[in-house]
Structure 1
Amino acid sequence: MDDDIRRGDLLAEGEPEQEFHPGIAGRFPRKTAAGGALIRDQAGRILFLEPTYKPTLDIPGGIAEYDESPYEACRREIQEELGLALEIGPLLVVDWVPALGVWSDALAFIFDGGVLDPSTIAQLKIDPVEARAHDFLTLDEARDRLRPSLTRRLTLAQQALTDGTPKYADFGR
């Protein structure tokens, strides 16, 4: 969203709502939000990254920073990870992910990252801090290197591309 539009929208909202019971807002749980992109090549294969910070494949994208929308997080992370300022398309999936280990529960948003032509693929500049490698794979080819929940989420994203209807999921279901 354009910064000027956002500022205008915030001004139109008026003064922030006051708490009836001071301190209550600080006691509410905080959810993490992440935005990722389903980016494909002309053969329909999905762009996967091999992150430097975890053992499984992932799609480009990442966790939203404070006061950043999942869509903007997706755009920023694509620029950082791939060196491309891609046009990010519509929402495909919103998936609630339960708390696991040290990670709080989260909302994972997947947007349509479009189809890259060979000349754009040749321009990919993978950030070595973020990823060791990248590859275009079918979901079946990548399945053994993905968490089951991401496989389910990406299956839903592909369905959303086909039928034009965004999907909501709980842990990929």
Structure 2
Amino acid sequence: MSEPPPVDRQEIAADLERARRTLHEILGRATAADFDRRSAGTRWTNEQLLFHMVFGYMVVRRLLILVRVFSRLPDRVGRGFARGLDAATPAFHEVNYLGSCAAATVFDRRRMGRQCDRVIANLQRSLARETEANLLRSMAFPVRWDPLFTETMTLEQVYRYPGKHFDFHRAQLTLG
């Protein structure tokens, strides 16, 4: 069996930077009315949704730890954990909604850009330190939590996830 091709870290790093720059562009051009307007297809305002998009990067930092731990345990442990999380999906969605509403009052339009800069810089450093073997580690995921989650995800896929999450929600913004 041949080895998988090396992970394209530059592509992942470029996507992290693309989203960071895009967020700053949005924050720089949106008006107060834009931030307060309801987004399309969510219960959030644009400002709350923008924070949720940044939060996707914050969550990845924790997901990386989980993958590193669960990938070393028997598969049945990780699958059981993912099933338990899937069972809690309704509560997760409510906490996810309310948490982004509350957090957007702290990491608002004036502060979320700096938070995004810090989180993405941390992810960039973490990505640069990962071994190829670590990037191939995987664990089961709760597929009901997010349409972008797959049943099993590698560390590489987790690094790629927040850009997809960002783009998915960017399409729901209703900016002028």
Query: Normalised by the size of structure 1, how large is the TM-score?
Result: 0.26
Normalized per residue, which structure has more strand?
1
Higher relative contact order (CA 8 A, sep 6+): 2
